[in-house]
Amino acid sequence: MPRLGSDFDSESHNNCENDLVSNRMESWVFGIFASIAVLLVAVGIYGLLTQEVISHTRDIGVRMALGATRIGITRMMFARISVLLGIGLGSGLLMTLALRRVVGSIVTIQLERDGFVIAALIALLATIGLLAAVTPIRRAASIDPMQTLRSE
């Protein structure tokens, strides 16, 4: 079995090693930025949902004064939040598909190959949105109707 020169072996090994280190660094940086983006999404959704509860405090107080139960208020708020999440996720998906060429300069998106990843990201963001909604919904369900009606 013929052997190649030792210069070729060490140079090839160094090039391969440098390429792997570069790929790993890019993956780590991309992962860090993606994690920060998901955290910002969670904080933004939490803020939006808290504002939704605050803006509907009077409505929730009136409903509770007229006999609505905590479960009913929770269902109503989950329905409103689900609509907001659906609109946001749907518009995000449509914009991703529409701007595929622009995004393609950074990341190639092929629906045949990346469809599962996109669906998983939508499911992840929907789950994050619903989990971020738990605290504002609990706050909405625990509103004292008499105090709400007196304050406004």
Length in residues, the chain: 152
For tokens 């803020």, the residue is 47
Encode pLDDT of 31-42 as tens digits: 899 889 888 988
- Name the residue among 20, 43, 24 with its Cα closest to residue 32: 24
pLDDT at residue 91 in the model: 94
What is the residue type of 86?
G
pLDDT at residue 2 in the model: 54
Mean pLDDT: which of 17-26, 31-40, 52-61, 103-112 is highest? Answer: 31-40
pLDDT at residue 4 in the model: 52
Could you give the count of Cα atoms lying within 13 Å of 93 in the half-sphere of its Cβ?
18
CA–CA separation, 74 vs 8, rounded Å?
Answer: 68
pLDDT at residue 36 in the model: 94
* Average pLDDT value for the chain: 81
* CA angle (111 as vertex; 106, 112 as ends), nearest 5: 125
CA–CA separation, 128 vs 112, rounded Å?
Answer: 26
Torsion of the alpha carbons at 140, 145, 148 and 152, rounded to the nearest 10: 130
Mean pLDDT value across residues 39-62: 84
Indicate the pTM of the whole model: 0.69
